[in-house]
Amino acid sequence: MIKRKLQDLAVCCSYQVDFLHEKKHSVKEFKRKYEVLDEIGRGGFGIVYEATSRQEGQQPVAVKFVQHKHVRSWTMTCRQLIPSEVCHLETCEDIPGVIKILDWFANSKGFLIVMERPENCMDLFDMISVHGPLNEDMAKFIFKQVITTVFDMYSKHGLLHRDIKDENLIVNMNTGEVKLVDFGATAYAEKATKKEFQGTRSYCPPEWFRDQLYLPLEATSWSLGVLLFILLTGKLPFKNEIQICLGNVRFPPELSKEVCQLVKSCLTTSTSARASLSQIAAHPWLETDRQFYNADLTFEEALMEIKNPVPVIEDKEAEDEDNELNDVVILTRSRDSRTDMDMESICTMVTAVEDRYEPSIAVKEFVAEEIVGTGETTNLMRSESRYDNISSSSFCDYVSLVSSSYDDQFTSTSDIYQSACEVFPHTR
């Protein structure tokens, strides 16, 4: 902890001294080149803004702002420390499915990473929320791009993203092209084995809950299985860590045996039996291609034209079993006093019974109070309505998020936002 604080202090001080870094990466140069517009989204470690280039053509870009203290790993280059995220993005420039980095800038507050941004784009989370689950052909079209990108990153550069989820996949709604974003947790495979699980709790593999064992390649396969299940059904395969450890997946009857087999091979609780990246990429279900929409249509128009699968209501027996598992989670946690619990346990209690695409209980209550008090509804931001939009390394972010919803404060990253406002004073 002390070593980390000293490192952060050294970085902050170095960016206060002009001759210690190149002027082309200064915030002054950033303001000369780009105009920041609205906030796109935020997470536990940074904020992403919509921006445009001031040069002719006004190219749309995305700008990610990360405070020094929220940089998860550093790399020494050009005689200065910069976030490893920048280096990894530059390394993967040859991979079409990785978001392109255009430039980066820094000052004493943090780093600004400028990336490409399609004019009409949406992440997979929002796409499924708006258009519903995908049919198999469309899910295959999306998933094939994802596995190709992940496999190329590993085979060509030895890199693992370590936080694959629907919110980190951006879809060009005109072409259907998928880009992988947010490389803050990315690491080389040989180094990743020495790290802890990094990612979203609902994508966490069972071996981490059982034995605190992190196997980066096996964890990647597991997260790909969760992602594919979400594409096909619009919901998570498991509701809590007990279900994750049991590994029993229920599929809608309309899904083909091939795709169910692929999902099961990724969501196998045994790490030795779990499908590898190469096995996933070579699976028979991904080998067959079929044109699923008219080439004259945009991808978004095709989404609206194609009838999505009708969600299947679980039978009473399955529902009762889920309720029993949820009761076990809650009762187990309630045996101890709340003050004796760590943040991870508190987070598990709150999130155990929530649905993936539904607002949290605390947020629902807050909205109800707002409607009664003011007669108006509140538009929830992304971070309030998605319980697992955090990394497992920042459980306290979620806890503070839930508690703050009663105090009219919705964001658990307000300190980041204040710093970003100092950099972009006109964005607030």
CA 311 – CA 234 distance, rounded (Å)? 8
DSSP 8-state symbol, 424 = S
What does the block give as tokens for 337?
A: 């006093």
CA 159 – CA 272 distance, rounded (Å)? 21
Are 65 and 413 in contact, with CB atoms under 8 Å apart?
Answer: no
Q: Cβ contacts of residue 313 below 8 Å, gap of 6+? A: none
What does the block give as tokens for 423?
A: 């950099």
Per the annotation, does 156 bind a ligand?
Answer: no
Cα–Cα separations (whole angstroms), residue 215 to 101, 146, 191, 196, 212: 28, 20, 11, 9, 10
CA 3 – CA 417 distance, rounded (Å)? 26
Cα–Cα separations (whole angstroms), residue 247 to 237, 331, 353: 9, 21, 17
Q: Where are the beta strands (DSSP E) in 246-399?
A: none
What does the block give as tokens for 371?
A: 């409607």
Q: Please name the amino acid found at residue 412.
A: S
Burial class (CB in 10 A: 0-12, 13-18, 19+), 134: buried
Q: Cβ contacts of residue 399 below 8 Å, gap of 6+? A: 343, 346, 347, 350
Catalytic residue at 322? Answer: no
Phi-psi region of 226 (alpha: psi -120 to 50; beta: other; left: phi over 0): alpha
CA 222 – CA 244 distance, rounded (Å)? 10
Burial class (CB in 10 A: 0-12, 13-18, 19+), 310: exposed
Active-site hit among 163, 166, 182, 388: 163
Residues, the chain: 428
Positive or negative, the CA dihedral 296, 299, 305, 310 is positive
Are 115 and 62 in contact, with CB atoms under 8 Å apart?
Answer: yes
Are 341 and 334 in contact, with CB atoms under 8 Å apart?
Answer: no
Binding-site residue positions? 64
Give me the active site residues, please: 163
Binding-site residue positions for ATP? 64
